[in-house]
Amino acid sequence: MRGRRKHQGKQLLPAAFLRQGISKQVSTDSQPFYDERWGYGFQIWMTRHGGFALYGLGGQLVIGIPERGILFVSTADTQGDPWGTATIHRCFWDILYPAIGQSLVIPGDDPRESSFLELEKKIRGLSVTIPTITTENELLLNNALGQYRFSPLMQNGGLEELELDREENLLVLKFKTSLASGQIAFGINQLAQETLKLNLEEADGPYYGYASVFDSKEIELTLKRIGDLFAELKILLSIQGNQVSARIRVNGETSMKRFEGIFNGRIIRN
């Protein structure tokens, strides 16, 4: 699409079709934010400076400016933010686009003082904030340890059994669904880097998991997959007496979507 006609010398799609596809076919003047008001082609958004944008799921975005040979790709996950895509657009147009073509070297005698090194330093300093689990909340975690069996009603992944064990600063969740079985480790007051095992096979990763507690009543287990395909899985456990409710949500376009749902069950071993 950048060349509008050919890729590596080969004509993949008719040139006329591509010209129409990245040209305004429908007016989008009523869209809620500025960068979606330039028109719409063949499932392709128009942008400033004669460019185009391709939308994926929740912040997965491509912006192309053919006349300048620019192709910008975002693999962010903004599903929880209704203005997430607009934020990515602003980042590109307000910060990145004006800087394209400018020198990346910071003035000075030392050639190591480049913006690349500055960026690397900043990235290395980034960290994930882990919720602190108090002594009171640790009691809730320990009381939740046990094995749970869920209703046989099928819903997406069909959660059947769940077991919580503790190994020092790790909360280990073992599960069985109608489609798979496996285990996940979640850090307590720390970030656990673990391998997710499904049916004794390692799933693509790496994965980072941690546990948190809300209002001393509900346990939230968060698992993030870092890599080419970002995914975030959240399990919210509400336990009252011998009854348990598990709400599972997945962010990101991933095969783990099959585990989503709301499941009710009861404890069978504590």
Q: Closest Cα partner for 221 from 151, 162, 147?
A: 162
Is 147 in contact with 268 (CB distance < 8 Å)? Answer: yes
Query: Has residue 13 been placed in a domain?
Result: yes
- Provide the pLDDT for residue 246: 87
Distance CA(62)–CA(39), nearest Å, equals 16
Burial 33-46 (b: 16+ CB within 10 A, else e): eebbebbbbeebbb
Residue-number span of the structural domain to which 173 is assigned: 135-269
- Tell me, yes or no, whether 174 and 76 share the same domain: no
User: From start to end of the chain, where are the E strands?
Assistant: 6-7, 10-11, 45-46, 52-55, 60-65, 70-75, 146-150, 159-167, 170-177, 181-187, 192-194, 197-198, 201-202, 207-214, 218-225, 231-240, 243-251, 261-269
- Tell me, yes or no, whether 148 and 74 share the same domain: no
- Tell me, yes or no, whether 183 and 257 share the same domain: yes
Query: Has residue 19 been placed in a domain?
Result: yes
- Provide the pLDDT for residue 229: 63
- Tell me, yes or no, whether 57 and 142 share the same domain: no
Looking at residue 263, its amino acid is F
Has this prediction a pTM greater than 0.85? no
Query: Has residue 212 been placed in a domain?
Result: yes
Q: Closest Cα partner for 128 from 213, 232, 229, 260?
A: 232
- Tell me, yes or no, whether 18 and 73 share the same domain: yes
- Tell me, yes or no, whether 98 and 217 share the same domain: no
- Tell me, yes or no, whether 144 and 264 share the same domain: yes
- Provide the pLDDT for residue 38: 92
Question: With 0-12 CB in 10 A as exposed, 13-18 as middle and 19+ as buried, what is 142?
Answer: exposed
Q: Where are the alpha helices (DSSP H) in the chain?
A: 15-21, 84-91, 97-99, 115-124, 135-144
C-beta neighbour count of 15 within 10 angstroms: 12
- Provide the pLDDT for residue 127: 62
Query: Has residue 229 been placed in a domain?
Result: yes
- Tell me, yes or no, whether 150 and 264 share the same domain: yes
- Tell me, yes or no, whether 263 and 139 share the same domain: yes
Based on the structure, what is the number of domains in the chain? 2
Residues contacting 197, CB < 8 A, separation 6+: 182, 183, 203
- Provide the pLDDT for residue 104: 46
Per residue of the chain (270 residues), give pLDDT as tens: 555 556 677 877 787 888 888 888 999 988 888 899 999 999 899 999 989 999 987 778 999 998 888 899 988 777 656 778 888 898 899 888 887 765 544 445 455 556 666 666 766 666 666 777 877 788 888 888 888 888 755 444 578 888 889 888 888 888 888 777 888 888 888 888 765 655 544 455 567 888 888 766 788 888 887 665 667 788 888 888 888 888 888 876 566 677 788 888 888 876
- Provide the pLDDT for residue 254: 60
- Tell me, yes or no, whether 164 and 45 share the same domain: no
User: Collapsing DSSP states into helix, strand and coil, what is residue 110?
Assistant: coil
Query: Has residue 123 been placed in a domain?
Result: no
Distance CA(265)–CA(270), nearest Å, equals 14
- Tell me, yes or no, whether 50 and 140 share the same domain: no
User: Collapsing DSSP states into helix, strand and coil, what is residue 131?
Assistant: coil
